Structure 1
Amino acid sequence: MIIIPMAGLSSRFFKAGYSEPKYKLSAHGKTLFNWSLSSFKQYFDSELFIIICRDVYDTPAFVASQLDQMGVKHYQIKTLEAETRGQAETVALALDLVPDNEPLLIFNIDTCRHQCTYPDAPYDAWLEVFEGEGDHWSFAKIDANTDLVTETTEKVRISNLCSNGVYYFKDKVTYNLAYQQLKRDTQTELYIAPMFNYIIGSGGKVGYRLVPISSHIFMGTPAEYEQFLRYENV
């Protein structure tokens, strides 16, 4: 099951003068929503996609139309009436749609990740990372001996391994236990990356996949979107 939380307000785009939320903007003949979902094109026939969105800007109808045009065979749209405290809460609000023992693969609408797949080994949780610069990412620290993740942070640079936003949990119980602990301990925005620390702390195995930065198109800010518009070969 692939879950796409998109309950943000696109505030940076509106402040930059855009009149539509970022996922409705177009680049090279496709919407940014389409570019992001295309990360999982190989699963359009087989996997259930859960899209979580706000009931604003006619978004539920837009999402349904896009999914139909793209040929996604199985999908559900979870509509939220109010803002959430962040991506972690947005996903938690859709867990009622997830069957027991069903793996969760979570992504965002800020990035296109070419040919993204599920992990190829049995982990309690897992994420993708790339080698990057700056401190505006989520980060993962790795144990070279076990090849497992030992710590994750949000916008605190503990390594050069930056999360690309692809997160995996083996089932909704694993997700919810970590989420409830994060919610208890956090007064600010609820990000998914720090949830892995609770799984690690309880003895769970958190794996990772290192992917080249060239496997991504970043579209989450006006500057990234405008740079994408200038690409000549996509």
Structure 2
Amino acid sequence: MSLNVVITMAGRGSRFYDAGYTTPKYEIMAHNRSLFDWSMLSLKNFLTPDSRIIFVCLGENKSSDFVLRQTQALGLTNVDIVELTELTDGQATSAYLAREHWNPEWPLLIYNIDTYVKPNALTPSDIRPGSDGWVPCFQVPGDHWSFVKPGCDGWAVDLAEKQRISDYASIGLYWFNCANRYADLYDQFFRDPKNLVRGEKYIAPLYRQLIAEGGKVSLSNLQLSDVHVLGTPAELDRFLQLPVEALRD
């Protein structure tokens, strides 16, 4: 399967440093794997020798050597690293800055480096035929997520950031059927500064532009037990308390 995969890991991980951790978040070990490896394991059914994988990193974190070692250990060879000199204004921009490295005609999958999803819960066959975009979701409390609102036919009718417009929260994975389309949507949508959320450029609201242009966005509903968010020290602590058996497919 020909696919562009963009992994955004261009944050400082300040909450972990503030909690006393001394290594970058993605290098932290949990159940004998780094958080980097847990995140990449989520994509096992999407990564093939043909996949083009681009990591967007923050230069000050000096991530390149670690990323190359880990990807080689995973048998991934078509790897590029984009090192940014400063923080961006959001994940949508971090992914956009990788565009020189992707194949513009291939689909684009964007994922973060701080979520583990049981691999069998995510497969390409989950993408509904005819989808221009796809957002796997789970049903979880809180309003700090990206949300997808499905219509009566199952296609998404709206997506919003930090607004609970439905019970379906994104797991942090975003798929577009064409990488070039993502770049075009970004240019069009963020031309209006009103589309920023708290000053940041998020990916989920970009699908509003896709839907407005007549595109179709599908969603999947994952089991809560299949998704493990690892973005804060508290979330990592909960993950560490789980038996390893509960993390396997």
Check whether TM > 0.5: yes
Q: Which residue of 1 aligns with 2:158?
A: 151
Mapping of 1:21-36 within 5 angstroms? 21-36=24-39
Query: Equivalent residues in 2 for 1:9-48 (5 A)?
Result: 9-42=12-45, 43-48=47-52
5+ residue gaps, structure 1? none
For 1:219, the equivalent position in structure 2 comes to 230
Where does 1:97-116 land on structure 2 (aligned, <5 Å)? 97-115=101-119, 116=122
* 2:128 is the counterpart of 1:125: no
Alpha-carbon distance between aligned partners in 2 of 1:167 and 1:71, rounded to the nearest angstrom: 23
Structure-1 separation of matches of 2:49 and 2:241: 32
AA aligned opposite 1:148: W
Q: Distance in 1 between matches of 2:170 and 2:84?
A: 26
Hey, what's the Cα distance between the residues in 1 that align with 2:109 and 2:56?
A: 14
* In structure 1, distance between residues paired with 2:49 and 2:31: 24
Contact 1:5–1:53 at 8 Å: present in 2 too? yes
Secondary structure in 2 matching 1:165: coil
Q: For structure 2, which runs of at least 5 residues remain unmatched after alignment?
A: none
Are 1:180 and 2:210 matched, yes or no?
Answer: no
- Whether the aligned pair in 1 keeps the contact of 2:140 and 2:167 (CA below 8 Å) is yes
The offset of 1:56, in angstroms, is 2.1
RMSD: 1.4
SS in 1 for 2:191: helix
Q: Using the alignment, how far apart are the partners of 2:40 and 2:130 within structure 1?
A: 24
TM superposition score normalised by structure 2: 0.89
SS in structure 2 of the partner of residue 20 of structure 1: coil
Aligned length: 233
* Local SS of the residue matching 1:40: coil
Any idea what the Cα deviations from partners look like across 1:88-133, whole Å, max 9, x if unmatched?
0000001111122110011111101122223242311111111111
**Contact conserved, 2:12 with 2:61, CA < 8 A, in 1?**
no
On the 8 A contact 2:52/2:102 being kept in 1, the answer is no
Question: Counterpart of 1:208?
Answer: 219
CA distance in 2, matches of 1:165, 1:211: 12
Distance (whole Å) between structure 2 residues aligned to residue 29 and residue 174 of structure 1? 39
63-72 or 38-47: which moved more?
38-47
